[in-house]
Chain A
């Protein structure tokens, strides 16, 4: 059986167990043998992007130790995959990022499937997260997977390519600007009337959901959870 390692990311480890569970279900449904190396923690993105290069390098090296033995590492986060691929070479010289695949990349480019056999009879709008779309170049891969889901009703999100304002510590350091960006994203999301807002990164979804849970609007959901759903 084909073996892959799962990198769940620190955010999911702490807050969102349903997302990595969904990834496991999807991959196993497609016949993969999923391994979860328990020594994994964080890719180091927060440290690197906040300017703490040394700390980030330590975490990057730890990532290499944990995942070095795998040919394919799947993660449900565009920004963590981008971190490994774009920043590790400068931080530690590691090329492991070439073997780290965001879920939709893995499904479409490696496994060669678009229809993963999911059913999700709900209205969904999709927010293309910045790091996934721009840094990683996911393009419309997550959306292609969603389009193949049975019963789904996808509604276009206006100004979808606009950042939600999360940006890691940006949300704290420039809280007001971040909040203004979030307000626009939430208004656009609410305007779709969709039940769910899907995205490829739970950090962005924490931000958007943190807003819509106050102002009203769709519920945040990682698209992996939609792909794992069968009824």
Chain B
């Protein structure tokens, strides 16, 4: 164990603090684009995982049918959500769990904090969970004088760095191993002396650090990947086994589960357990799958609580096109293939759900905020192509754009364009005028610098000059 005092905190700058979280996406993205190390880390990590996913998804000849089935199961869940939630409650309760209902983040946090206190604890170990990130449970606990310790390796890195996750599955994707070594060395307190950036050494340091926490924790907080209505079971899918430690060692287990995580039957897991590991880590099978149903006497936690979380989800459910976002199983395949995410990372999105899924989920979960996110996409469709539950992300992006507010200037320009395009004679006149107006540039072949808003184009690209003779002229000539 290191005897050196941790280095001063000032010299570690969390990436999220550099990117203005409340700035509109284009602004935040610009900052991220200017961080070469961040971009290199992201390009490397997403590129690797993308190739792995493509390989293992390609191995299954019924991949497309699995996707169709998963999409159908999720659509069915969305149609029967109230019924399934009540069924889950009844079965989980019968098995000895206590089920709580939370309308929003504040309710969920308050319930969780109360349960921790009732367990006689002032700290909890945590299983990696997006729902608890969404409700900012750690921050809430801290404000209440409780401590929440992340035990997922990547979440631990982010927590030690006092940073924010930048990826759903790999929250520390924006760090390379040298940076992780520095974070451990300076922030972990019990990091071994002379820690190198060898992945095995880093993992070992984290293991020792976490082991002490597991052994002393009275309570754990988790999310769940799936909640099975038919049996009242919860399922956590993970790679490291740290989640399993949290799920089995403490006396009290509190799981915060978005209501969209429900599945009708245990048999449905067969479909999702094929899709999820392949889509997320690019593995055929994940190392640890934990399933628990209420309490088993003398085995594992004896106080089992489930907090079913709405936090905007029923609002999303009301939108027939947008609701498919609730099918998401948080595999993060869409992030890894997204050319925008790959270049900006997650912090620029200003929401815990970044990337393509964030761009359709954040504005729906928090209506009126994040109106810029549906535009953070070139609509290239790579996300839809890989999504294991076939969420048509481009369709929802366009749908949300059609609901959202528009700037007055843009509205006027689009209206004018439509007015011309809807009148063939006017359209032809406009084209003729453009060809005439372009005369001064014709010799150069390109326009290199235009005034705003054209400057947004010419900042990096030339614009071709309209031709001397249009297709229409040619056609007319030849018709004679």
Contacts and interface: CB of A to CB of B under 8 A. Distances in A.
B460 A175 contact: yes
A212 to B, nearest CB: 9
Chain A, interface SS category: helix
Contact of A175 (B374, B382, B403, B459): B459
A178 to B, nearest CB: 7
Interface in A38-82: 38-42, 44, 46-53, 55, 58-59, 62
A98 B402 CA distance: 24
Q: Say whether chain B's binding surface is mostly helix, strand, loop, or mixed.
A: helix
B424 A213 contact: no
Given A13-B471, A174-B340, A177-B340, A182 B421 contact: no
A24 B471 CA distance: 11
Interface residues of A, number: 65
A97 B291 CA distance: 48
Nearest to B26: A174
Contact of B378 (A48, A87, A178): A178
A210 B463 contact: yes
A14 B381 contact: no
What interface size band does chain B fall in?
A: 35 or more
A209 interface: yes
A177 B343 contact: yes
Given A38-B424, A173-B26, A210-B462, A50 B343 contact: no
A211 interface: yes
A165 B462 CA distance: 15
A135 interface: yes
B457 A52 contact: no
A163 interface: yes
B103 to A, nearest CB: 31
Interface stretch (B15-23, B120-128, B212-220, B411-419): B411-419
Interface string B289-320: 00000000000000000000000000000000
Contacts of B424: 38-41
A161 B344 CA distance: 19
B384 A15 contact: no
Interface string B10-32: 00000000000000011001100
A46 B417 contact: yes
Given A177-B26, A179-B459, A214-B462, A51 B379 contact: no
Contacts of A62: 421-422
Contact of A51 (B398, B417, B456): B398
B339 interface: yes
B464 interface: yes
28 contacts: A12-B471, A13-B427, A15-B467, A17-B470, A42-B421, A46-B414, A52-B414, A53-B402, A130-B379, A134-B382, A134-B385, A161-B382, A165-B339, A170-B375, A172-B457, A174-B376, A175-B457, A176-B26, A179-B460, A182-B461, A206-B464, A207-B461, A210-B457, A210-B460, A210-B461, A210-B462, A211-B460, A214-B461
Interface of A: 8, 10, 12-17, 20-21, 24, 36, 38-42, 44, 46-53, 55, 58-59, 62, 86-87, 130-131, 134-135, 161-163, 165-183, 206-207, 209-211, 213-214
| The 3 residue pairs across chains A and B that have the minimum distance between CB atoms | A167-B378, A210-B461, A51-B401
